[in-house]
Structure 1
Amino acid sequence: MSAESALSKAMFICSRMEKCCFDIRKKLRDWEISSDDQDQIIQTLIDEKFINEERYTNFYVRDKFRFNRWGRIKITHHLKQKQIPEYLISDAIEQLDEVEYSNMLSDLLTSKIKTIREEDPYQLKAKLYRFAQGRGFESQLSLQIIDKLISAMD
């Protein structure tokens, strides 16, 4: 594939869905574009506003929280894997509403309790804690909400 056709294909992809430099570079590598051309294509996409890492990060954080119901830790980890700068990640994460965040975790744990068949409160707490960790929620917040839910059951 030529660099020109790769650029137009990348522009099309970026116009249809928000992408970051990492995603596009991966595509360009798959298309066997030289690294010099990759750099040039990505710079063109940035200059022409097809790629904006800040915009991408904000959308990613909001979508993964609302639709995938992920916590801050998991979202941050996935963005770091995409080589998004730390300051963009922390800015986007800070925009999450604290009350909505706690309510989301509470709702997740409440629905999870209904699926767990466990009599021992210690084992129940451990299973809920592991579930919250797997979703990427912070330990402190997870334990607070789990304690409230378990004490409400008594």
Structure 2
Amino acid sequence: MGICPFFFSYMMIMNKKLFTFDEIRQKLVSYCVYQDRCHAEVEQKMKEFLLIDEAKEEIVLYLLKENYLNEERFTRSYIRGKFYIKSWGKNKIKMNLKQKQITSKLIDTCFDEIDDNDYKKVIKKNYEDYYFKQIGLDDYQKKMKTIKFLINKGFEYNVILDVIEA
């Protein structure tokens, strides 16, 4: 059959250490196991290694086949983390996922990870926390400043108004 076309691209010089194709693949498996990754993050990580396109494709296919790389799982995990841990709103989460080259359709599908009641509770809690920290302002100024704060966290203006006027 002959020599595998990937053979010569499997080696890489990084800090004067050579890696075989299998070592590179294992490093990328470890990278994906540590936390869920999207395709763009894996592609970026592969730039550390001098691989030809065919070798990159083979690694990505392996990661997909073995379920180390799963875009939907990544998206769902990302949404949960950014909402429940960082208290980001949907707009900010969506913008950051688009920067990671996740499709709008997948993002919209995965937003069911955020419970509507939890979403409103987080808005209300953030609103109250921020509102009462404002000192020396009248109520209108506090309200406007707090709404701006929530918009910057990625919450939708109409949802904010619904929550604070309820």
Q: CA deviation at 1:65?
A: 0.6
What is the aligned partner in structure 1 of residue 65 from structure 2?
Answer: 47
Alignment of 1:2-151 (within 5 A): 2-147=20-165
Relative to structure 1, the CA distance from residue 108 to residue 32 in structure 2 (aligned partners, 3 Å threshold; closer, same or farther) is: farther
What is the aligned partner in structure 2 of residue 152 from structure 1?
Answer: none
- Once residues 24 and 37 of structure 1 are traced to their aligned partners in structure 2, the CA distance between those partners, rounded to angstroms, is 13
RMSD of aligned alpha carbons? 1.6
Q: How many residues align?
A: 148
What is the aligned partner in structure 1 of residue 16 from structure 2?
Answer: none
Gap runs ≥5 in structure 2? 1-11, 13-19
Relative to structure 1, the CA distance from residue 123 to residue 35 in structure 2 (aligned partners, 3 Å threshold; closer, same or farther) is: farther
1:125–1:146 contact (8 Å) kept in structure 2: no
Gap runs ≥5 in structure 1? 149-154
- Greater CA radius of gyration, 1 or 2? 2
Q: CA deviation at 1:26?
A: 0.6
Q: CA deviation at 1:16?
A: 1.9
1:128–1:146 contact (8 Å) kept in structure 2: no
Q: CA deviation at 1:19?
A: 0.9
Could you tell me the TM-score, scaled by structure 2's length?
0.81
- Once residues 118 and 41 of structure 1 are traced to their aligned partners in structure 2, the CA distance between those partners, rounded to angstroms, is 59
Relative to structure 1, the CA distance from residue 147 to residue 36 in structure 2 (aligned partners, 3 Å threshold; closer, same or farther) is: same
